[in-house]
């Protein structure tokens, strides 16, 4: 059983994936500020420990401190997250990149990664980000991203970058993630009459 810290948790889609992969969870800590996303996460996973705003989380060797309280932890096995993409996405005019208010929360992810030093981490974000932002994230995390298009497993084209690392005791090393098998799902396959 593992301990998870999910930053920018949303409706806990990462937990759904972990469940479907058969990974047993001891504690699932979540940082999210959207009250509706939290309601859905808590309805589906009432044992989720909600930590609140990422900016108010402080991590120490044996506990996490937030405005919501202090939580004793033994070790975080997996840190998951993807800072908001609005300032990185090509869909936004005049995007500010990692200096933007939303996408700049990536630096909070990095702070917590350095404080917690989990056994593994996964960071996800849009493939359409500027090359400079991709290079800076890669340099900061010390691992190369893998691009995966959701079209391989769904009826939606949605290219995302995933940085995945494993702690070796001194630094994070690359974890190679294979591409999912193309399931050949088309829009016509999911439309209802």
Q: What's the Cα-to-Cα distance from 83 to each of 54, 72, 154, rounded to whole Å?
A: 10, 25, 23
Distance CA 133, CA 151 (A): 24
Helices (H), the chain: 13-20, 35-44, 106-116, 131-141, 187-190
Q: Which of 57, 85, 105, 133 is catalytic?
A: 85
| DSSP summary character for residue 31 | E
Count of all residues that appear for the chain in the document: 193
Residues 6+ apart with CB under 8 A from 21: none
Q: Does the annotation mark 85 as catalytic?
A: yes
Strand partners, 64: 59, 71
With beta carbons less than 8 A apart as the criterion, state whether 87 and 96 touch. yes
Residues with a catalytic annotation lie at 85
């Amino acid at each position: 059983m593992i301990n998870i810290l999910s930053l920018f948790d949303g409706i806990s889609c990462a937990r759904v994936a972990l469940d479907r992969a058969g990974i047993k969870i001891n504690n699932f800590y979540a940082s999210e500020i959207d009250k509706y996303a939290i309601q859905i996460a808590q309805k589906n996973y009432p044992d989720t420990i909600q930590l609140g705003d990422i900016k108010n989380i402080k991590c120490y060797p044996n506990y996490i401190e937030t405005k919501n309280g202090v939580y004793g932890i033994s070790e975080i096995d997996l840190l998951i997250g993807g800072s908001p993409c609005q300032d990185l996405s090509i869909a936004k005019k005049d995007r500010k990149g990692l200096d933007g208010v939303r996408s700049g929360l990536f630096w909070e992810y990095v702070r917590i990664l350095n404080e917690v030093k989990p056994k593994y981490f996964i960071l996800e974000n849009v493939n359409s980000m500027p090359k400079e932002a991709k290079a800076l994230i890669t340099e900061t995390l010390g691992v190369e991203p893998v691009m995966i298009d959701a079209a391989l497993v769904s009826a939606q084209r949605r290219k995302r970058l995933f940085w995945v690392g494993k702690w070796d005791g001194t630094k994070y090393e690359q974890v190679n993630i294979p591409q999912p098998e193309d399931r050949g799902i088309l829009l016509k396959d999911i439309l209802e009459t």
